[in-house]
Amino acid sequence: MKREHKEMMKARARNIALRVAYDGTAYAGFQRQTPPVIAVQNVLEEKLARIFGDSIELAASGRTDAGVHAYGQVVNFFTDGTIPVSRIARAANSLLPPDIVVKEAWEADRAFSARHSARSKTYLYRIAQGETPDPMLARYAWYIRRPLDCAAMRAALARILGTHDFSAFRAAGGAPMSPVRTMYEATLEEERPGLLACRIHGSGFLYHMVRNLMGTIANVGLGVLQPADIDRILASRDRAQASATAPAHGLYLLHVAYGEEAPAHPQKNIEKTVDR
């Protein structure tokens, strides 16, 4: 029955894709939940159904957790609705709450899937530093009071580049899939005094992988671990060897690439506007 339903949805005339940004603070992640629990998908599907005049079922590039944000979440859905693609973003944003925004809409090839067609993803993780926390960053960056050794953190990040088995950074409960992933770039920059930004661009990511990596990289910065410990942790394939999971609110899904060359720092200027 479920397969028949999916085929019925795919028989609709159009395959619409959207690039969506959201502040995940108020939501139980992206994936649809049973009310009264509300996820980003619940809200998007409800508003899009009003615009297109039929039921909407979104497929997404990834399922961000509760509190995780996005600059570049990609979704697609099949519809018989006739609204021109040039009007979709404006129509959607007139109905959506201010913490969810449709940035772009396009008519996709029928074979396009936001999830299965993705070639790579880039995540951003922010860490706030200083003697006292910045209240404007409380929902958007992990505050660590003690000074971090950024050089050591960069050396540690360099060790995750290439193709590895990332089982040691994989949380239990995710979908069964190969733990082997390729990391193309992992950088750490100071966006401004007191605010660090780590970007990780890879072929794909496991459940909680970025947050588990960041918890471990932060411990390198604090001197609890050394950069060379990353090699040992990777080789162990044991989650218990890595550090605790970093908080969700510092994480952003930055960019999803679909065949096009993924820039090293997509939306670099836009993403720096974290003050609300």
The residues annotated as belonging to the active site are 65
Residue with tokens 């006292």, as numbered in its chain = 132
SS3 (DSSP) at 201? strand
Contact 200, 254 (CB under 8 A): no
Question: Alpha-carbon distance 244 to 242, whole Å?
Answer: 7
Question: Alpha-carbon distance 91 to 86, whole Å?
Answer: 10
Least Cα distance to 97 among 62, 139, 46 occurs for: 46
Q: What stretches of the chain show up as alpha helix (H) in DSSP?
A: 2-10, 40-52, 85-95, 150-158, 209-221, 229-236
